[in-house]
Structure 1
């Protein structure tokens, strides 16, 4: 009988082994995650399925209609910068919950209206919402945010603040000009109204009266001219008679020697100074001389064009003719003026109506013309027009800043990491010393159940601490009981799979292999990095990775979508197959080493946690 040698302290203290396991595994996990984080997935984001929902209803009618949402959606799909798919709203958000889409880009109903009215006084751009679900994938939100920056730059390509600033100033000048023109048109309308009233009430009646007067003047001038012609003819007749009278008087007086008679008469008066007869004869002689001179003068006045009367009469006749002619021309002109004033009055009415419409239109336009305010306001608006499309990020469950979306990844990591740590905290059995009793199937089963129990307790304690004290707000899964079942199934599956590795490769290699296997799954399972963006070999791992099943189970549980039962049953089947493999390997090892089944397989047991040295 051999004396049992004292065991090293490492083998005696389970707590010390647990601490060592934690100290070894935690830095490895953190380092691996950090190293995987250095991977740049942006080169393959064009393969990420992303849903586009165009809810824009357009704006305007006919040639003025704006359908900016359709243009943006089509441009995004054609750009192929991401794996864009244009779907309806229901399909998009169902796909986001199912994990079919990494995020949803939604163009709102008023997108075109906001852009069409961007020149009005507004405070916010047209928003495109981007919705992430970190329950499905952590990196989708950060990569999607970076991609959206590039997408927005493509949407806004060619728009510059300076150019739009000039546009704003120009529109402002247009608005100011419209307002000035509106003021001027109001004054014009007032002036044309006054003009119309003046023409209708004063000018037109006056011209009409003047036209009637000119007609009467023409008639009177004609009558006057005809009378003057008649007077001239009568004067000619009268002059002829006066000439005959003067000639007759001169013949009569020519037969009487008036000079001699006058001399004799003066002599007789000298002899008889107071004789009345001589005085009468003297007066008669003077009368004859006066008659002779007067008759000739009258005849000359009536016939000589150089005489005052006859010359004046001739001029009067000529003037009367000219007056008649001028009066006729005046009458004709006044008739034309009267007709022109009528047309002028009609034009004034049309001008007044047009000025009124112009005033109404310009004032309405001035009211609609934008007023961008002062220079600071115009500068702010120019910046808004330069960036007319903004983005709004929404999260079903945000993981960043310790949000509830991080819970799924934490559960996925700890459901595998804790069983590895628990396995490493157990003694190494025959991997530490060569003097080891053979293990039985019952021993392996007991060890598996112990690891499962300890791991479940540790997982739930750690998960509860994170759930209630580290994440804010706390996660709110659709089905909490499904979360419990998926967690339990994941722990059982990982314990069974890790047991296969420890059984096949031993304590040291089994631990390293388990950790390496975990790191590969973290990079390929799709919950942190989108599996479409990782290198091809890791994409193959996605389809065969047990962690992918766990992730799909949690996605179904937290989001309330289908996929829970396939994942749950698949994990239990994998656990059963792994357990069967472990038992088969143990039996094969025992037969190979000893040629018989291990002791205890028929009822005996061997301590597996405290092997003898």
Structure 2
């Protein structure tokens, strides 16, 4: 207990020394304010540097001559870009000519110059002609005026490039989608026409099938007709030859028929006389036959009267019948011959009449035969011509049949192809987008800006100043400790009366600056939280963590100076520089060179920055306990170093004989 009271007395003694005069109190107050001023002013100045860019002067030079699109529309993107920049007021834009821009950049009147070249619009429209060219923006900076102005300029140009690209993409996409609607309509019309074509092709195919069948039948008929015409030609030739012969041979026919008629008449007259004589002979034969029949009917009576027996009568009758038979036959022949002679006479008269008629008509017949012979000659010639024509017609009908067959095959393919074309066009029309104006606008905007960012953060700083706060708060607390130890004594050597005082003196030498460091941490937290206005996720826990960081940093600097004196103070300065570049306060520590990455994992400020980030921004606190443990380890190590330094001083003073040892030492 006494040792602890000794450590507190040592600390109070040191604090009284640091405040024993007005100047000392003012100096101490200034030291307490150092971290607040450093962190507060820096974070205040850099809280949101991009919010005041509207006061940064920049020049835009428009040389774009514009171009005319294929639709006749005038494209003047350069003026649109300049107007957008000026009305946007992101910077203090001035539209000037090239000479003014270069003069202003040299004199520092403009942070940078953005030039839109003459071919800018034409280059943007070049893709429509399938000769795409990049549309370049020319940026001119002057790092001698301000280096970061060039970085800001590049950021602005990137935004302009993105905006123009989105506008061009939206325009191109809108035209493309409009073209798709036109294509959809035209393909729809083509599908309707192809359906009609398919229907017509189907009908044509059906007709061509009938045509092919009819042509085949025509060939058969033509073949038969050709055969018939050949036979007709042959028959006509033979008829002509026969009629010619007949004509020659009938030239004497009229005279001959006259003679024939005369002779026939004579024959007819002779036959008439013969027929008349035959008729008389037949009549006599008939009378004889009737007389014999009358005699036969009386003969049995007479024979019976003469006393003949019946057998005798029958024998006589049989004999008379036998004798009378030739007479009956002769009578029959006479009767038949008389009829024949009558018929012959009648026929002879008819022949005579016919011969007379033939003689009368033979002149007309001979004239008709002459005419028929001449007509048959013409018929033969016509039949030959008809046969030749039929042969040509047969050849043509065969060609027609083959053509009809080929046409049918072709129309079959056309029918199938037209049906497939109609189906394909109908399906194609369904597959071609036909967006409405609203859909076209929405899709064009999406194509122009296809990627959006939905940002989600486990922890969010909120501003540029808040993002740098953990680093500069840590650095400020280190600087506060470094500054404080320009006046504070690491060890109060006169308090090392015994070796039992080593630890209290070491703790007391650290405790006095640690108390001032706590004040520095609290004041810095108040300035950052309320004066600068940085929002903190866990403000009270962050205050406690800052107190811990300040006490650890005080212990480290105290230990170095207690052990090494002024050299320790120099090492503390070097250690601050090393932590400045390795803590990962601005860029991610993974981007550091290899040796600095190793230092990042070792030095304490890396863990103070990491812990302050967790408490300032929120998010998982999994690694916060590691940060606290590492800082406590550094603090314990530093106190061990200061205790070793106190022991070393104790031994040196004892060896000089000015230190009394207690009993039992």
State the TM-score, normalized to the length of structure 1. Answer: 0.51
Equivalents in 2 of 1:184, 1:335: separation in Å? 35
Which of these residues, 557, 564, 576, is aligned with residue 498 of structure 1?
557
**2:580 alignment partner, SS class:** helix
**8 Å Cα contact 1:398-1:404 kept in structure 2:** no
Tell me, in whole angstroms, the C-alpha distance in 1 between the residues paired with 2:443 and 2:396: 67
Alignment equivalent of 2:407, drawn from 311, 321, 344 = 344
Q: Does 1:572 align with 2:632?
A: yes
Question: Is residue 195–residue 422 contact of structure 2 (8 Å, CA) maintained in 1?
Answer: yes
Corresponding residue for residue 20 of structure 1: 30
Q: Counterpart of 2:494 in 1: which secondary structure?
A: coil
Question: Which residue, 232, 247, 250 being the options, matches 2:240?
Answer: 232
In the alignment, the residues of structure 1 paired with residue 544 and residue 193 of structure 2 have an alpha-carbon distance, to the nearest angstrom, of: 81
In the alignment, structure 1 residue 527 sits paired with structure 2 residue 585: yes
Q: Is residue 585 of structure 2 the alignment partner of residue 585 of structure 1? A: no
Aligned to 1:354: 417
- Post-superposition offset of 1:547: 1.4
Cα deviation for residue 357 of structure 1 reads: 0.6
Query: Deviation of residue 192 (structure 1)?
Result: 1.0
Q: Which residue of 1 aligns with 2:606?
A: 548
Gaps of 5+ in 2: 1-16, 48-150, 162-167, 261-355, 497-501
Aligned twin of 1:190: 199
Deviation track 1:9-46 (CA, whole Å, cap 9, x = no partner) reads 133x4xx4454124444455678999999xxxxxxxxx
Counterpart of 2:585 in 1: which secondary structure? Answer: coil
The change in CA–CA distance for 1:472 and 1:232 in structure 2 (over 3 A counts) is: farther
C-alpha contact 2:510 2:554 (8 A) present in aligned 1: yes
Q: What is the distance in 2 between the residues matched to 1:408 and 1:395?
A: 18
Partner Cα separation in structure 1 for residue 605 and residue 255 of structure 2 = 161
Matches within 5 A, 1:149-548: 181-200=190-209, 203-204=211-212, 206-207=214-215, 210-211=218-219, 213-214=221-222, 217-218=225-226, 221=229, 224-225=232-233, 228-229=236-237, 231-246=239-254, 299=366, 302-303=369-370, 308-327=371-390, 330-331=393-394, 333-334=396-397, 337-338=400-401, 340-369=403-432, 381=444, 384=447, 395-401=457-463, 408-409=470-471, 412-413=474-475, 416=478, 419=481, 428=488, 438-440=494-496, 441=502, 442-446=504-508, 448-452=510-514, 455-456=517-518, 459=521, 470-471=533-534, 474=537, 490-501=549-560, 503=562, 517-518=575-576, 520-531=578-589, 541-542=599-600, 544-548=602-606
Q: In structure 2, how many angstroms separate the alpha carbons of the residues matched to 1:536 and 1:346?
A: 81
Aligned 8 A contact 2:173 2:447 in 1: no
Contact 1:189 1:359 in 2 (8 A): yes
1: CA distance, partners of 2:417 / 2:367: 72
SS at match of 1:243: coil
Cα 1:203–1:543, aligned 2, differ >3 Å: closer, same or farther?
A: closer
Separation in 2 of the partners of 1:403 and 1:372?
47
In 2, distance between residues paired with 1:499 and 1:317? 148
After superposition, the C-alpha distances for 1:177-213 in whole angstroms (9 at most, x for unaligned) are 755654543342232123123334x645654664565
- Change in CA separation of 1:410 and 1:183 when aligned onto 2, cut-off 3 Å: farther
- Cα 1:329–1:534 shift into 2, 3 Å: closer
Closer, same or farther: CA 34–461 of 1 in aligned 2, 3 Å: closer
Task: Indicate if the aligned counterparts of 2:174 and 2:440 stay in contact, CA closer than 8 A.
Answer: no
Q: Deviations for 1:299-325, whole angstroms, at most 9, x for unmatched residues?
A: 46635xxxx543222111222343345
Displacement of 1:239 in angstroms is 1.6
Please give the per-residue CA displacement for 1:247-290, whole angstroms capped at 9, x wherever unaligned: 658999xxxxxxxxxxxxxxxxxxxxxxxxxxxxxxxxxxx9xx
Q: How far, CA to CA, are the matches of 2:551 and 2:369 in structure 1?
A: 158
1:577 Cα shift? 3.1
**Gap runs ≥5 in structure 1:** 38-142, 154-159, 253-287, 604-613
Closer/same/farther in 2, CA of residues 587 and 339 from structure 1, 3 Å limit: closer
Tell me, yes or no, if the aligned pair for 2:589 and 2:597 is still in contact at 8 Å: yes
Question: Cα RMSD between the aligned structures?
Answer: 6.1
TM-score (norm 2): 0.47
Q: Any idea what SS the aligned residue of 1:474 has?
A: coil
C-alpha separation in 2, matches of 1:35 and 1:430:
35
What SS class does the counterpart of residue 357 from structure 1 fall into? Answer: helix
| 8 A Cα contact 1:452 1:495, kept in partner | yes
Superposed counterparts of 1:28-107, under 5 Å: 28=38
Q: Distance in 1 between matches of 2:418 and 2:198?
A: 5
Distance 2:208 2:587 in 1: 87
Q: Quote the Cα distance in structure 1 between the aligned partners of 2:239 and 2:20.
A: 173
**Going by fraction, where is helix more abundant, 1 or 2?**
2
Question: Over residues 214-257 of structure 1, what are the superposed CA-to-partner deviations in whole Å (9 max), with x where a residue is unaligned?
Answer: 456446545654554454344234323421225658999xxxxx
Counterpart-to-counterpart distance in 1, 2:242 and 2:404? 45
> What is the distance in 2 between the residues matched to 1:596 and 1:377?
98
Distance 1:365 1:579 in 2: 83
Could you say what secondary structure the match of 1:438 adopts? helix
Return the alpha-carbon distance in structure 2 between the equivalents of residues 598 and 171 of structure 1: 102
**Given the superposition, is the C-alpha separation of residues 473 and 309 from structure 1 closer, same or farther in structure 2, using an over 3 Å criterion?**
farther
Partner SS, residue 341 of structure 1: helix
Determine if contact 2:247/2:373 at 8 Å carries over to the other structure.
no
CA contact (8 A) 2:35 2:520 kept: no
Larger Rg: 2
Deviation at 1:401, TM superposition (A): 1.1
